[in-house]
Amino acid sequence: MTEDIKLELRGVRKSFDRVVAVKGLDLALRKGEFLSLLGPSGCGKSTTLAMIAGFLAPDGGDILVDGQVVNRMPPRKRRIGLVFQDYAVFSRLTVRANLAFGLESQGMPRKERHRAVAEISEKLALSDMLDARGGDLNMSEMQRVALARVLVTKPELLLLDEPMSNLDASLRASLRSELKQIQKDLEQTVLYVTHDQVEALSMSDRIAVMRDGAVLQAGAPEEIYHRPVDLFVAQFIGDPPINIVPCRVEEVQGKLVVDTALHSGLGLAGRDVPVGDYLLAVRPHHLSAHHEPREGTAESEIRLVENFGAEHVLHVTYGNDLVSVVTAPGFALEGERLHLSLDINQAHLIDRRDERVLTRRHCEAAA
């Protein structure tokens, strides 16, 4: 098992002056795995990356590559490839020269260099533009050249720090699947840093959600999306964001039910939780809107409609809160009233004090 681990962080800590940037981080990356560090600005994700690359020394803990501690190893000996937000492609050099640059400085003989450049440009669909100059490329090509330049050196580990942040939204979407396919083909181990949950969900084998220098949850994208461990993770993943409303769990005739400002008596089949006040987290897709009242619906008013073309997101009243519901285009207009039902089996109960999601084990056993 352990031979499969490419990178491991053990209790890695880092502070700047008195501000703790990374507090006791434990994380392991398997060979060929794509792992995303996901979190808001200032959560410590870029600091973590800089320590792995060797630009910053940890205050405590160990960084291991292939089972060897590399804490004191200089960056260039770590065989790590880095691509940043502002990628450096030499605009006066041809694509070929850009790709060969890193190999030349490594002292690779000419013939081998040619072969390596040809191989990587084939894989990244750059063969036709090897003679173009860096400055003549469009953003998508530039991104591929920046990536190819690093990949051609065959790094043990590829670190990507928000590489798509400066790109147009439409370009980002097409590059996501491109990058993922390249990574899969090459079986490249990747650590990807981002604040964008869409990038993390769509490309990662696993996601580690970070906040205030610590990993809150690490798991497969589906796990993070469907079984968040706390309020922060639940709110950080998903677009439109998850709805959070206050609720109360009561025992009625021996059965546990949930009451909210709008819905009452939602059966908590098999979920064993203490009676009391909680927060209820429910994804917009697990609320449904109807024109006519039916069993289990409650009336609500549409305050705002966001038109996304393929679907509309309605922001509707829910007690003193607003919640969002996803509908087909043209389902209803602002100011109209509709009838809302809530799928309690897809909702999470959250403790108000420590903001942890109550385990769903009981619920799933019952289902």
Positions in the binding site for another protein (CB under 8 A): 40-41, 139, 168-170, 173, 176-177, 180-181, 195-198, 201-202, 221-222, 225, 236-241, 283-285, 304, 306-311, 313, 315, 326, 329
Say if residues 36 and 236 touch (Cβ distance below 8 Å).
no
Rounded Cα distance between 108 and 120, Å, is: 15
Dig out the tokens for 364 from the structure.
């799933």
Question: b/e string for 39-61 if b means 16 or more Cβ within 10 A?
Answer: beeebbbbbbbbbbbbebebeeb
Q: Which is nearer to another protein, 123 or 285 (CB)?
A: 285
Least distance in angstroms from the C-beta of 225 to another protein: 5
Least distance in angstroms from the C-beta of 17 to another protein: 15
Q: Which is nearer to another protein, 109 or 335 (CB)?
A: 335
Q: Residue type for 111, please?
A: K
Q: Which is nearer to another protein, 74 or 330 (CB)?
A: 330
Q: Helix 110-123 crosses helix 139-151 at what angle (to 10 degrees)?
A: 130
Least distance in angstroms from the C-beta of 240 to another protein: 7
Rounded Cα distance between 97 and 85, Å, is: 22
Q: Which is nearer to another protein, 132 or 198 (CB)?
A: 198
Question: b/e string for 230-265 if b means 16 or more Cβ within 10 A?
Answer: bbbbbebbbebebbbbbbebeeeeeebbbbbebbee
Least distance in angstroms from the C-beta of 173 to another protein: 6
Least distance in angstroms from the C-beta of 127 to another protein: 20
Q: Which is nearer to another protein, 264 or 317 (CB)?
A: 317
Q: Which is nearer to another protein, 116 or 175 (CB)?
A: 175
Spell out the SS3 assignment of 1-19: CHHHEEEEEEEEEEEECCE
Least distance in angstroms from the C-beta of 337 to another protein: 19
